[in-house]
Structure 1
Amino acid sequence: MFYIVALMVPLVMRFFFELERQVDILRAALGDEVDAAACPAAVLLLTDDAVIRVLEAATALVKAGEAVRIAAAGVAAGRSPRAAGHQGLAQTRGHRSPVALVQEITGSTRADAAKHVRLGQALLHAGLVDAESRIDSAAASPTDSEIPGTPSIPGSERPWHAALSDAMMRGTITSTQQDVILRGLGEPPSCDTPAACVGDDGARTDGDVCNEHRGASARHAWAAAAEQLIDEASTRTAEELGKAARTIRDMLDPEGAQRRFDERFEGRSFHTWTDGDGIHHGSIRFDDLGHAWLRAVQDTALRPRRGGPRFVDPDEKAKADELAADPRTNDQLAYDLLLDTLRAGSLADAATVFGTRQAGVRVIITADALRRADGSTRDTERSADDLGADAGIAVLEEGGTLPAWLARQQACSIGSVECALDGSGNPLYLGREVRTFSSKQNIALAIRDGGCRWPGCDRPPAYGEAHHIDRWVDGGRTDIDRGILLCRFHHMNLHHGGWRITRHGPGPFLLHPPRGADPIVLGTPIERRYVYGDLQPPPLRFRPAA
């Protein structure tokens, strides 16, 4: 037991030292005598920089406390199995489940309590808080090989998501980021049916051995994907990480992507009912394409109310001003819009219903994937890396994936627009002949940028304005490589707040804050990087034999 204490004390000391450091920051800013009731008044007197320091220190304390709470929730769940009956930890406290126990103690919502239990169980599975197993093993044979980076449960392989648990406990990612990545990636597909496969060396393997290899390959790919998303977490919102995780999952597991699409399509429904007071209600469960279409309709028609682009044309501006002054709420406008669209049907006059821009769903797919969806390049002899990249999916402009065959179907029925992008996403060059970006250039910007590129902004392309990073009056060019998509708010904030955006050659766009702070790299939406090949998902190392 002394051996284990000797290993753990440095870790404990570092943990509490960091907590004490953050407490010292708060004490220096707020004073020793402040109590909880007086805290808001004390913060009100701080300078802007001091407010930021207080916010950062308080966040660090909350993250550390939450990590410990999640570990405790996982242990409580592990000690409250159904098999224990009324003798489980939660049950002896009068609760049906560990979620109910955690909810009562924390005062959180049931959803938050369930998240803490879920993440805590992931910690247990990763061998990070199974102290009894580690202590028993180390006490039995304290060899040098057991002196850990992060120890694991003896005799078991660490799960693919262990890196997420490690990163959360270190504070590299938050519990929310861990949860959205974990849920977005889902579980790797398992292989439980004997089937022949071929490895990287071309050797053929049969039966259960193949399935074991393929399962290990899938777990390795999921683990590598989790590591990639951890690296992105410091500059991405939780929503971005969740979308990226789902996209990676569909690229790595196209069969599963097709199955999930089919399930959502089969689950589509529209139900209406009238309650006891005579009020009529409706409930819609969307399939992927149906939701994208309806969202495009709403975004197109309501964008002046939701921070859409400024209008230069007088007629457009007049319609936008009229909509902004409309006394109806956004929900009422959306309702009336839906009924107007249903009434007008296929004979709708786009200018009457939508204003100046007709609604539509833009689906992005590489030419190679489009050909494969048509069946023209099916090749059973492709390499394992090719198979890993051949995801069989297309990407909706505003996020989410569709099967490649559905994109092919849409292209056949409504046509397509080809847009050639180089590795830097620079498809068109107009020089100085035209000041404003053309419609095709705006399509290219939407494809490349996926919406407003400002850090943390989720405004879709429909709300975007093309910004010249080089001022026109100073000789700037109207070229894609010198333009970037920003929503109206951030576009105006950039011009009026002392911000600026630069770019050196084909490199990344850099956002320069006012007052000389370090520039911020404006990352491309991460799911776009996978689709265009800039960032490759981890390859599956085995493939079915021809």
Structure 2
Amino acid sequence: MFTTAPRDTEASLGTTLRAGVAEASALLDAHVLPKRNQLTLLPDDELLELTRAAEELGRRADALRTLAAAEVGRRSGPERGAEGLSSCLGCRNPAELLERLCSVSGATARTRLRLGAHIAPRFGLAGETLPSDFPAARVAFSAGELGIDSLVAITGTLSSLTERCGAEAVAAAEGELVAAATGTAPDGAPPAAADEIRMQAKLWALYLDPDGVLPDPDRTMRRRGLTLGRERDGLTPLSGALTIDVAAQLQRLFDAQISPRVADRGRPAFTEDTAGAHDAAHAGDDSRTRAQRQHDALAAILGVAARAAESPSIGGSAPTLLVTISASELERRDGFGLLDAAHLSDDMGADAVAQPIPATFARQVACSGGIQRLVLDANGRIIELGGPQRVFTAHQRRAIIARDGGCVIPGCHVPSAWCEVHHATDHARGGPTHTDNGVLLCWFHHRTLETSGWEVRMRDGVPETRAPAWVEAHRPWRPVHPHGHRRGRRARPG
């Protein structure tokens, strides 16, 4: 049974607390917030000090909000039934009450309740006060020395270890982690960031309870999987669960393509003296989200895999998709063709079905070695079958890579290994499969070349690009060369 202090004491305490919060808010309103737009005037050292002080203030506010949420949760406990605080106010649970009271998300409300349950003092059956689950973290968090992210890392990792490892071992780990997070460890190291605390907490858990922390390899292998859903509105959902190593490899491949640092691996640039500024001006034109860029990176990875000599063959040849389209539809801007795609029907395998695709896709994929184009006339006769003569050979690709260095669209940082070779003049319009007619484009710019406003042409065997009108009103053609070639020519005397 919980004990409750007299109402007059509660009222007096509540008035004091509210007055203190109001006073702190008034000080902020009077001395800080009116000048927040003048931060540009601060010297570097004063800006850093203000940033640190603001973080400490936010941590103290987080502690008050978390402890208040914990008390709301305690007064809404299931043992109180219909007399619980949240029930009396018409809410299903304390999380809903906090959502409505504080205008926060459900995730934020649940986080405050969960953290509050770990650091708030508990009460025994006779009403006596019991220590919190993480007393060291509570003290540091309440004093503004421990951030909420580090608190989540410590309590979330160690809370499940008490029953198996004992309170004493968990307390020792908690003390070490709090000291590392607050910079009070004996070695004198500065405060560790929350991500580092999360890693240290995992190492402590692994040390204290290796059997409970390491994933069960048999269970992991049983649960792994990847599923392609049913196509809808031109998109096919992808879902599943990857093992840690596969996910890490895929993420590394994503990072290798979409990281800005790939610019150091030889992206193209213009030969004019203004090339660097012009290139930088377009570097921010990419409006794709990270999820969209990862999709395009996966498309490039699949293209690289299809071209790889080590890829398994199907019917004696590399894995190849077939695009069927009529000659009349191929020429139409709004035309369409059919892609002979695999459609997952059940757990036993996939059925081959024809999926409609835009004609623009059919025109662009003819340059790729992993996709073959079949063109029919009005009577159904095969008048064109994409074959080796349409696809740039490995020798041609190496030569084009040496010349272009990467995707030729200014500001694009996708390196050459991830790019496709595009016919500057389409093969159907007489364009040869020759190095003088091939340019490197990444998957995204290759698929959007007809709609983005960018134009690519060849002049004396050198690719040139022209920006859309909204980028450059006069739209001059600019030659493209790798950075290495620019340096070589500039370094040469005369």
Greater relative contact order structure (CA < 8 Å, 6+ sep): 1
Q: Using structure 1 for the length normalisation, give the TM-score.
A: 0.43
Higher strand proportion, which one? 2
Larger Rg: 2
